[in-house]
Chain A
Amino acid sequence: MTPPQRTGTAAALALLLMTATACGGSGSQAESGDGELNVMMYQDTLAVVQHNAAERYNEGADVRAVIDEVPGDGYDDKLRTVMGSGEAPDVFFNWGGGSIEPYVEQDMLLSLDDALAQNPEMEEAFIPSVLDAGKIDGVQYGIPLRGTQPVMLFYNEQVFEDAGVEPPETWEDLLSLIDTFNDEGVTPFALAGNTTWTQQMWLQYLVDRRGGHEVFQRIQGGDFEGWRDPAVLWAAQTVQDLVDRGAFGDNFASVSYTEGGASALLAEGRAAMHLMGSWEYSTQLAEAPEFAEEHLGYTTFPEVPDGQGDPAAVVGNPTNYFSVTSEADSEAAVDFLKQTYTQEYVADMVENGEVPVTTGAEELLDNSPNPDFARYQYDLVQEAPTFQLSWDQALPRTAAEPVLTEIDRLFNGQTTPEEFVDTLAALQ
């Protein structure tokens, strides 16, 4: 309980800090020229690869690379705060697309076109479609730093065996599996509805399969009338149909992904399938190692009726990127970026279960903790005609948030598919 004036103060104070820091934003860059290269990194178990890279880099350079790990929850707004406050890091982790567009608009990022021109081996090192996704308006701002993370359909092989069924290949298969598992008392699909972006994955695949890659490309290009594409309406109707059929059980709204809820449901056999990014494998390996090694199956998202899209297309995160801020010591930063395709770096990634996006990484995949899964993923991405970046990363944040909210409302039956389309088309 707070006295009245504090209601506003808490909110106002936060905004004051922003204002105060924004005014100082144009000031001198504290970090540059102090012999340190500050690298802001998303904190998780995989960041060990970047730590090792920094160590190798520090052996031969005058400038010391320092990895600052920032907790993943709220990484994006922490990044926004430091960038706006003149305390920007020199190099930072991001998702490309809409996640760095605002910084590009403010001329806060260094174009890496020159670096690529001077170091042709850098351009040749990566799978072209993935490197391309690090561009904003045709200018390179991001260099891939992680493995690829396509969204795929995971399933519990034990549950499928018990029910005597096979993973879905067509949409009819998928619908009949929903009935089968509901009769068995198993939730057909684990869905972490409390973590909105997990619901978004369903719409992404449905739209991509039904209408093709171009549907969202148009929206991503800024034309929100693109939401009125019939494929979007169909996808929204399909989502509500799935919910009504009990595809996600009846308490998905309170299941969280970040707290491990959905993954536990799959591992415990209380859910049969789970549509999730490829990192689900690492999550399961950490939380339920026995299940991950014995019974965790994976397949692609099935075709849909009258689908215009290529069934080999994938959605998800092509990879994560390092971008360099314009105030950074560009020479040192570019030197550091060269680490991301060294033999040691790629070998490190593979050992940690990642699937690199560097060309010619195939041979290394045998060293992966699960070579089959790694190769499956590598081929999936290699053969995919298109790789749609997650909507909430592809769109600018001002639009991404309302889109996530509307998707949430759609899954919870608080809006009709028609209203869903109208609301999204009306966004600015």
Chain B
Amino acid sequence: MSVLSPSRDGRRRPTAAPSARTAPSGRARRPGPRVGRPGAWWALPALVFFGAFAVLPMGLVVYLSFTEWGGLGTPRFIGAQNWTRLAGDPAMHRAVVLTLVLSVSSWAVQTPIALLLGVWAAGRQRNRAVLSALFFVPLLLSSAAVAIIWRALLDPNFGPLAQIGPLIGMPGLDVLSDGTAAFGVIVFVTAWQFIPLHMLLYQGGARQIPASLYQAAQIDGAGRLRAFWHITLPQLRNTITTSSVLMVVGSLTYFDTVLIMTGGGPGTDTTIVPYLMYRVGFESYQYGYASAIAFTLVVVATAASLVMVRLTGFGAMRSTREGM
């Protein structure tokens, strides 16, 4: 039927011309295989996994939040008592405020540093690869290891800080025993740990920006600062949203750092919601109430990411290359 011509590797292959002519009628009779649209059942493994490890547990958490259960025997249904208690619990109120402050300050600290480092790392400077690799190290350590290291370094009695303090004229320099300072330490340590990840995101984003934009700007006489402000930042719009959602939602789960570094203290000055949930659930065995806290956290985290995606127009995914 079709005209065959020898291809370069010696095999025979239909030439383009005749098939192009027969194609329209062929497509009308029998639809060809659709490209990139596998059957719905391909999603099954992921759905089963998601169902078993996300949806089902979440459903159980909702159920448990209406019960009283200490881990022994059967949960006892107590209606909305856990929820009314949640609304009026001063410990929860304190934890919510601390968590919000932590999220906002983590975002405010991490974003500019990660953005600048990432953009810098996207360049072609000398030593860039070596320094980038060094900056990346904290991310390779587990949160627990990071927290243990920093706790040892900052120990006011036995850490290096105890020796350094008097040398710089600040004997008794102590950042873990004061509530505000300890909170600052949590922000700092988590930033130290997570900035590399976001730096990586921004580096990838900045590498995607076409060089022609900068060349054009240069011709128009724009300096580096203006180029950064008018090209780099707008081009990184989607990266900023991704990174911010990860930061804010991630900051709602800074649990291990708090557990190891401060134990929620001094007093309750670093008891954020996830840590409170742990205390209530696994130390005072009120799994029902802990479930109410857990579910609140899920709702807040989901809401926060949805709101951020909406507000930034990220959901529409408009290209940053329009008109190019």
Contact = CB atoms under 8 A, between A and B. Distances in A.
Given A12-B60, A250-B177, A264-B158, A1 B172 contact: no
A11 B61 contact: yes
A252 to B, nearest CB: 7
A8 interface: yes
A270 B57 contact: no
B188 interface: no
Contact of A13 (B53, B71, B250, B305): B53
A251 B249 contact: no
B105 interface: no
B176 A25 contact: no
Contacts, number: 182
A4 B249 contact: yes
A402 interface: yes
Contact of A1 (B197, B263, B268, B294): B197
B17 interface: no
A398 to B, nearest CB: 5
B179 interface: yes
B295 interface: yes
A13 B281 CA distance: 13
Given A77-B282, A254-B266, A400-B284, A11 B294 contact: yes
Contacts of B291: 15
A409 B268 contact: yes
B179 A106 contact: no
B285 A80 contact: yes
B62 to A, nearest CB: 9
Contacts of A397: 70, 283-285
B72 A80 contact: yes
Interface stretch (B5-13, B40-48, B222-230, B296-304): B296-304
B129 interface: no
Given A8-B298, A251-B172, A254-B176, A401 B279 contact: yes
Contacts of A252: 177
B301 A8 contact: yes
Interface string B236-254: 0000000001110110110
Contacts of B75: 19, 22
Interface of A: 1-16, 18-19, 22, 25, 77, 80-81, 83-84, 102-103, 106, 108, 193-196, 250-255, 261, 264-265, 270, 397-402, 405, 408-409, 411-415
Which 3 pairs across A and B sit closest by C-beta, in order of nearness?
A12-B57, A8-B298, A401-B284
5 contacts: A8-B297, A11-B61, A253-B266, A261-B157, A397-B285
Given A8-B301, A25-B72, 19 more contacts: A1-B194, A1-B246, A8-B295, A8-B297, A11-B61, A11-B297, A11-B298, A12-B60, A15-B281, A19-B60, A19-B75, A22-B74, A22-B75, A77-B283, A103-B72, A195-B263, A250-B177, A254-B266, A398-B286
